[in-house]
Amino acid sequence: MSWDSTRSPQTQDRHATLIIQAVLQMRADRLRGMRRVGHLLSFVQGSPGARKTSVTRLQQICTAAGIIRQTAYIWKAFYRQVSDQQLESYIKDCRDRQSRPTAVGAVRWAQGGAA
């Protein structure tokens, strides 16, 4: 599908703006999802010491969810480091600047640095 050159430049600009807004919203939703999953993963107990089975509960959950253990740890850390309020404030700032929200940017924002 090609860009319709018969449309007015104003219509094309409006569509471009809507596309950018939708992509930024999608990225913001991904960060919210990461934080939500990190929160839920924080309830999964670890397996200190010797295990009775070769696979931990966290590994079972990660396998079922289709993520690797390292991703689970990153999302749990993201949940611990960035509060809901900080994340929403960061997302609003990104929206105002029309910049791409990222996990690293959100953590920097939460730590008081520039995104």
Say if 50 falls within a structural domain: yes
Say if 40 falls within a structural domain: yes
CA distance 115 to 107: 8
Q: What is the pLDDT of residues 66-112, one digit of tens each?
A: 999 899 999 999 999 999 999 999 999 998 988 999 999 999 999 99
Say if 65 falls within a structural domain: yes
The amino acid occupying position 112 is G
Q: What is the pLDDT of residues 17-43, one digit of tens each?
A: 899 889 999 999 999 999 999 999 999
Name the nearest CA neighbour of 89 among 74, 75, 72, 108: 108
Say if 3 falls within a structural domain: no
Predicted model pTM:
0.81
Number of domains present in the structure of the chain: 1
Could you tell me where the beta strands, DSSP code E, fall in the chain?
A: none
